[in-house]
Amino acid sequence: MLNRKISRRSILLGAATTVVVVSSSRSARAQADPLPAWNDGPAKQAILDFVHAMDQVPQKDRIATFDQDGTLWVEHPVYTQAMFALERVHTLAPQHPEWKDQEPFKSVLANDEAAIAKFGERDWAEIVFATHAGMSQAEFQDIVGRWLATAKHPRFKRPYTELVYQPMREVMDYLRANGFKTYIVTGGGVDFVRNYAERIYGVPPEQVIGSSIATKYEIRDGKPELMRLPKLFFDDDHAGKAIGIDLFIGKRPYAAFGNSTGDREMLEWIGAGQGARLKMLVHHDDAQREYAYGPAGGLPDTHVGTFDQSLMDEAKAKGWVVISMKSDWKRVFAFD
């Protein structure tokens, strides 16, 4: 049953690449490749070997968790959700004349990039609460959906929802074809990500774990609503990712994918399980096709995940596989 699924999918995935392949044995190999956007190398091989080892694991325990920003889609120059929040401040400004003289809103409205780059946690919390709270869950979903339909990334000039890494989408598909449940475990807001996760990653709302603000049950006009409050409920980052996985799933995943120190504890938690466990980190070292930051240097990572030397050292010490965007990925985006 599973094998049939895989080979059907593999044929579909491989179809585009067979055109340039010459010998029949190479063609057969290309057709069987579930990861055509990956170059051959240790990262791709680690994924293939891991899935092979999963024959030993009951299907109900096959869980894989993926960080989102910087792991599944572009996070530079600023998280998509932060961009949403900044643009939302502009949209709401007419209803808040006081923001013109009040930080951090003043700097946002003045598009003062230097000031925004220096925002601390408290500034961002104020911006998030002003833009993400004070409405019902249904109203928030409507606002996010409408924003995503028109917003574009400043460099790629495409909707954010197109800036998904094609190799990672292939990994998700490949794992699902092998009986895995794929989860997103994001430091971002769970309700924001649920708005599009099924559409662009094939991950349903109940498999998105993320940070959340508190909500309050209220009867409005005789109808129950969940109102969003300006108060953090759960911070699903760093240790919060291990805690969130335990709280929402209650099982230790077999595979985890991240790209920053915010994913460190998630990878440690998965790695402490017995048997084959796949721990991977995306390293942004491709300034040409995407961005180069972290140990690859180049860009500042003020607003994005930090991939510092300590994470690289831990990866080496613990056998976590570092994915080089530049050398491991044949294609970065579906539109490449």
Catalog residues that contact a copy of itself under the rule CB under 8 A.
Answer: 60, 63, 137, 181, 190-191, 194, 204-206, 208, 212, 215-217, 219, 223-224, 226, 233, 239, 242-243, 246-251, 265, 268-269, 272
The gap from C-alpha 85 to its chain's centroid, in whole angstroms, comes to: 18
- Closest separation between CB of residue 81 and a copy of itself, Å? 16
Between 183 and 291, CB nearer to a copy of itself:
183
Contact (CB, 8 A) for 202 and 226: no
Between 257 and 293, CB nearer to a copy of itself:
257
Measured CA to CA, the distance from residue 115 to residue 92 in angstroms comes to: 20
Measured CA to CA, the distance from residue 245 to residue 271 in angstroms comes to: 14
Measured CA to CA, the distance from residue 126 to residue 121 in angstroms comes to: 9
Reduced to 3 states (helix: H, G, I; strand: E, B; else coil), residue 184 is: strand
- Closest separation between CB of residue 12 and a copy of itself, Å? 21
Between 86 and 245, CB nearer to a copy of itself:
245
- Closest separation between CB of residue 226 and a copy of itself, Å? 5
- Closest separation between CB of residue 73 and a copy of itself, Å? 19
Measured CA to CA, the distance from residue 184 to residue 73 in angstroms comes to: 12
Between 161 and 212, CB nearer to a copy of itself:
212
Torsion sign (Cα): 116, 117, 121, 125 = positive
Q: Please give the angle made by the CA atoms of 80, 81 and 87, to the nearest 5 degrees.
A: 90
- Closest separation between CB of residue 146 and a copy of itself, Å? 19
Q: Which residues contact 287 (CB under 8 A, 6 or more apart)?
A: 298, 299
- Closest separation between CB of residue 210 and a copy of itself, Å? 10
